[in-house]
Amino acid sequence: MTTNRLSLALIGLVLLVAACESAESKRMKAIAGDYVSEYETDPATDPGHMHVHERHTLTLHPDGSWSTKHLAEVNGEATPVQPDAGTYRVQGVTLSLSPTEQMPAMHYTISGDTLWIISSDKVALTKAVTGVDFGGDNKQGFLVRQH
């Protein structure tokens, strides 16, 4: 009888732990996916008459890790940009990416399928340090989820 009670208690404990998934963990699973920001110039209106195309993809993984891919082309020629990765946290509607050697910590407000960059000074610092323009001077600082 004691073995049966112990087995039942152990099964109950395992089920309880599985059912007690944290709110942050649930939120990470819900927002996991690819978020994209794109920028393109028209040579006819660009002051340097250049065609610039940039695509920045931030991938949020359900396990709390993130990775980036960045495509940068000037007049059709690709410029190599090193990918980056780290971890993230979610607290309410705030998403915080850990800092890396390539960029400082980034903070976003989660609004539906859009991640809005919270602090423009951090965007400016990121651009100064890495050359990667998450927000730009003349555009909104956001990434949109790709389905």
Range 125-135 average pLDDT: 64
Of 25, 32, 54, nearest to 113 (Cα)? Answer: 32
Chain segment 77-99, per-residue pLDDT in tens: 998 889 999 999 999 999 999 99
User: Are the beta carbons of 87 and 98 closer than 8 angstroms?
Assistant: yes
Sorted by where each starts, the structural domains of the chain and their CATH numbers stand as: 22-146 (2.40.128.360)
Task: Output the pLDDT for position 122.
Answer: 59
Range 112-133 average pLDDT: 74
Q: Which amino acid is at 27?
A: R
Task: Output the pLDDT for position 134.
Answer: 53
Range 33-57 average pLDDT: 92
N residues, the chain: 147
Which H helix or E strand runs over 2? Answer: helix 2-19
**Does this model's pTM top 0.75?**
no
Phi then psi dihedrals of residue 68, to 5 deg: -130, 155
